[in-house]
Amino acid sequence: MEPSLDELKQAVADYKRKLHARGHIVALAGNVSTRIPDTNHVLVTPSQVPIDALGAADVVTISVDGDFVDGNRPPSSEARVHAAIYRARPDVGAVIHGHSPYATALAVLGRPIEPIMDEFLPYVGGTVEVAPFGMSGSAELIEGTVEALGPRAAVLLRHHGQVAVGKNLDKAFQVAELVEWAARVTWLATVAGRPERLPPEAIETSSGVYAYVKDM
């Protein structure tokens, strides 16, 4: 049975708090969204609402074109990035944007997360690329994010953070956690030496099952 609209709104608020609890965001940063099934509408976290005050009633409805539909507050300044991802990726049911420390450090460096761990690939689909820098909400940020994300499940935003997508909020959050873990391993391996990519055949095999695994 599909969750009700109120349940979806609560889930969006809950996952924003979960991002904070897991260290993916601080203060007012980060945003979360999910599709409303069988509509062209999306639920997204609002702008400038403290974590401890965020509730289902604060969650905003926008269209997949990025237009305001309903809500008591303005949507996140990056709501149009979420909308653009949904337009480009019909398979995506949820988008999570955070500033987890290691992923953000690599984003600041402009360094992709290369496929160096086989268990990471099936869930993300390959290298986590870095989108070019763009001001929050700008056309440059929107276009660059969608292009750098491509068919995969995550992208780094230059000088900003990471975006993870999935079939639903739980899957998108799992990807966000995996990206931060992979970024941390990449950082530690770089300190100790020079990380090596997986063999080409392993990359091809793991990436090939991505379309299956992400729908589980």
Catalytic residues: 78
Question: Residue 70 pairs with which residues in a beta bridge?
Answer: 61
Give the tens place of pLDDT for each residue, 59-116.
Answer: 999 999 999 999 899 999 899 999 999 999 999 999 999 999 999 999 999 999 988 7
The number of residues making up the chain comes to: 216
Per-residue model confidence (pLDDT) at position 29:
87
87 exposure class (CB count in 10 Å sphere: 0-12, 13-18, 19+):
middle
Q: What residue type is assigned to position 10 of the chain?
A: Q
Return the closest-CA partner of residue 85 out of 97, 73, 95. Answer: 95
Mean pLDDT is highest, among 63-77, 110-124, 188-202, for 63-77
5-213: what fold? Answer: L-fuculose-1-phosphate Aldolase (3.40.225)
What confidence tier does 206 reach under pLDDT thresholds 50, 70, 90?
Answer: low
Per-residue model confidence (pLDDT) at position 203:
61
Per-residue model confidence (pLDDT) at position 189:
86
Give the tens place of pLDDT for each residue, 128-169.
Answer: 999 999 888 788 999 999 999 999 999 999 999 999 999 999
